[in-house]
Chain A
Amino acid sequence: MLMDTESHAPTASGATQPKGGAPVVLDNLTRQFGATRALDGFSLNIAPGEFVALLGPSGCGKTTALRVLAGFERPDVGRVLVDGKDVVHVPAQKRDMGMVFQSYSLFPNMTARDNVAFGLQLRHQNSGPRRARAVELLGLVGLDEHVSKYPHQLSGGQQQRVALARALAIEPRVLLLDEPLSALDAKVRAELRDQIRALQQRLAITTVFVTHDQEEALSMADRVCVMSRGRAEQIATPAELYSKPSTEFVARFVGISSRVSVTRTGDSVQLFGRDVKIRGEAPMTAGPLDALLRPEDVDVLVAPTGLGVITHKSFLGATTRLQIGIAGATVKADVMSSAAADFELGTRVNLSANAHDVLVTEAQPAT
């Protein structure tokens, strides 16, 4: 579908030409709601045309950051620079930012085409070109056949695509996506994810995408900003975030699920009875250390005298996830489902790290 829309889209028209996005700077934003500080000195620089994902659990401030950028919230402190100009005091309707919302936000009294044309009408575009443009944009998101339908006649995924076309119609300086996929089912979500990314790259619009789904953030964004308690924990490319999470919080958010206490020898640690190098910088502490492991980092071998015992097993498709109790810790490990029959609950196993280096952090105090 994606290739289809790309090859058939008219290229002579303004709607499909790369327009170039604006650079955005969020500078030291703070926003307090009663006793909670939703943003606490949050800063982020976004290059023109860049796709940045704000990733974090609910309540981390990611949505507030987006709403401040959109103009729906005003920061207590801090600046929002778009194209170098501070827009903190510019009302939302004058910021030229296209936004797609989590809940379906189409105007129920208008057809898909009228929804898309709404922003153009407000910009006093004549009805002929306006309608043509709306139809063209609907074609771009693969909805040529649904231009005259009302929102209640469209599926959730179709509604979000109309909302995307509506946001793009005004040729926004910045495109804001507030968890636009979270109300959709998995298949539609994956499809639309690729479609949004391809459109964004083609139009080169500066885009901020809010999500709590790490897979979404890592697969779509140029850079991901992991947020916690109103601050940026780490801002990095998906690859960097995955291989070098800078904090425990980030590590958990990008798929690290187990910690195992380890002893250190120089720039290595003893993990499952073997020396494994410390990845990146070793923590500056003399105290106890933990290795941080992803399920795919661990190999599992059946061994009657093994130190670990399988306590839980869940089928995930191609792989099966095991939970292994070992030396007071619980380690999650993935094995190929074709070999999963060997790993019954209660089976004794040995573990080994399959990477030659491992992330190490200060041990957590026992809770």
Chain B
Amino acid sequence: MASLELGAVLEHDNFMEEYSRGNEVLSWWRRMHWGRGIALFAAAAYFIIPFYAAMQFSLANNNGKFSLQPLTQIAAAPGFLSALWLSTQLAVATMLIVMVLMVPTVIYVHLRMPRFRRVMEVITILPIVIPPIVLIVGVDGVTPSWLKASQWLLALVYVVLAMPYVYRALDAGLGALDLKTLVEASRSLGSGWTTIILRVLVPNLRSALMSASVLTLALVFGEFTIASLDGWQTVPVWIYLAPTDDPRINTLVAMMALLVTCIVLTAIVSLDRSKNPNSRRS
């Protein structure tokens, strides 16, 4: 579908003409360059084949036929629900903390210290450059023991890990707004900073905030090293430890996580397109 759209954009006029003749698919293929087609096919195969194989492995029953029965076994698998609950709690906490920290910060940097944006970019890339193992060993070295015993320490570390994605999403979102004028217009009408951020900026940063949230969610549900070193059984740790006697369940959980993320992302993107009045501009 995406490539169909690309073709339509590239040769919109021809496309519309031939569409009316009713042979759009054929003409689309005719116009499609060979190189482009091969690249598209290879990319699709690269993603679809492993996914298909994993699904077949986990959903095939002993007779080699597909069955949805393994799905029902997931909930019953020992420890899975508590792992899911822990990961969910951590994801929500991480999202809240990172937003409360980053939204005002990025707005402030954009408005008052635009030159500091480069420094911010370097600082926020550090969590990606520093290996998680180094990060958690360092954090454990300085954390007081009461906090080390709490699951919320993980959320605090995940805030650091999510920072690069959240910063970049917000930076791009704010860059697309005429921030200074919007802020000054709302100030002249009588808004304080809380009103400006919540009533004027956040609604206009919706897509940036959504993508930041999805990335944070995906990060928390996928992070393994730190959770396992700190001894918490989050979803990825649970998958690794494989407390079930059926490896198909673990694979299925991983596949379901991937599928759910894809669905959430697609939903957000389409929701954003249909409802956001700015989508025409961006």
Residues on A facing B (Cβ under 8 Å):
70-72, 91-99, 101, 103-109, 118-119, 122-123, 150-152, 163, 166-167, 170, 176
Residues of B within 8 A of A151 (CB): 277
B142 located at the interface, meaning its Cβ lies under 8 Å from any Cβ of chain A in the complex:
no
Residue from the list B184, B189, B277 in contact with A108, Cβ < 8 A: B277
Q: Tell me which residues across on chain A come within 8 A of B188, comparing CB atoms.
A: 70-71, 92-93, 95, 97-99, 167, 176
Q: Interface centre among A72, A93, A104, A119, by most B CB within 10 Å?
A: A93
Residues on the B chain within 8 Å of A107, using CB:
182, 185-186, 200, 203-204
Could you jot down 26 A-B contacts, CB within 8 Å? A71-B188, A91-B187, A92-B184, A93-B190, A96-B190, A98-B188, A98-B189, A99-B185, A99-B188, A101-B181, A103-B181, A104-B178, A105-B178, A105-B185, A106-B185, A107-B186, A108-B177, A108-B204, A108-B277, A118-B199, A122-B190, A123-B190, A151-B277, A166-B185, A167-B189, A176-B188
B247 within 8 Å of A (CB atoms): no
Please, which residue of chain B has its CB at the minimum distance from the CB of A123? B190
| Given A152-B281, A170-B190: A122 in contact with B195 (beta carbons within 8 A) | yes
Interchain CA distance A99-B184 in the complex, whole Å: 9
List 13 other contacts, CB 8 Å, given A97-B188, A98-B189, A167-B188: A70-B184, A93-B191, A96-B190, A103-B181, A104-B178, A105-B185, A106-B185, A107-B204, A109-B200, A122-B189, A123-B190, A152-B278, A166-B189
B190, B192, B199, B200, most chain A CB atoms within 10 A: B190
Shortest CB distance A21–B (Å): 16
Interface core residue of B185, B189, B206, B280 (most chain A CB under 10 Å): B189
Quote the shortest CB–CB distance from B194 to chain A (angstroms).
11
Shortest Cβ gap from B228 to chain A (Å): 43
Residues of B within 8 A of A163 (CB): 185
- Assess whether B190 is in contact with A152, with CB atoms less than 8 Å apart: no
Q: B182 touching A105 by the CB < 8 A rule?
A: yes
For A99, the closest partner residue in chain B by CB is B188
Q: Which residues of B contact A72 (CB under 8 A)?
A: 184, 187
- Of A94, A104, A106, which contacts B190 at CB under 8 A? A94
Task: Given A101-B184, A152-B277, A152-B280, check contact A109 B190 (CB 8 Å).
Answer: no
B278 touches A108 (CB 8 A): yes
Question: Per-residue CB proximity of B79-103 to A under 8 Å, as 1/0?
Answer: 0000000000000000000000000
Contact with A along B168-190 (1 / 0, CB 8 A): 00000000011001101111111
